[in-house]
Amino acid sequence: QQPVQSPQAVILREGEDAVINCSSSKALYSVHWYRQKHGEAPVFLMILLKGGEQKGHEKISASFNEKKQQSSLYLTASQLSYSGTYFCGTVADSWGKLQFGAGTQVVVTP
């Protein structure tokens, strides 16, 4: 079942922060975060395994709440380059089939 992402879209000024949420109704093995620029392929940002660990990629970090089956992606001090559509992918099956959310469009303005 497809995970649910919120919000659908967010507009930020450079330097502002944002949070993108990804939730699932299933028990999860891992959560993957990707960013896609317009007309390009999705680019992997980070993977979180169950255990509640938090990871970071430059000023982008994420957490995974195993009990709530929810992951959050934090964009800190946003830069223009952060614009794009962010997808979460969740893995619940034993063989690792990713289910992608519908995406969150992020627009960072000067």
Partner 1 sequence: DGGITQSPKYLFRKEGQNVTLSCEQNLNHDAMYWYRQDPGQGLRLIYYSQIVNDFQKGDIAEGYSVSREKKESFPLTVTSAQKNPTAFYLCASSIGFETQYFGPGTRLLVL
- Site size toward partner 1 (CB under 8 A) is 21
State how far the Cα of 76 lies from the Cα of 21, in Å rounded to an integer.
15
CB nearer partner 1, residue 34 or residue 82: 34
State how far the Cα of 110 lies from the Cα of 103, in Å rounded to an integer.
23
Q: How distant is the alpha carbon of residue 98 from its chain centre?
A: 13
Q: Does 95 bind partner 1 (CB under 8 A)?
A: yes
State how far the Cα of 105 lies from the Cα of 84, in Å rounded to an integer.
6
User: In this chain, which stretch among 39-47, 52-60, 62-70, 75-83 interacts with partner 1, using CB under 8 A?
Assistant: 39-47
Binding interface with partner 1 (CB under 8 A): 2, 29-30, 32, 40-44, 47, 87, 89, 91, 95-98, 100-103
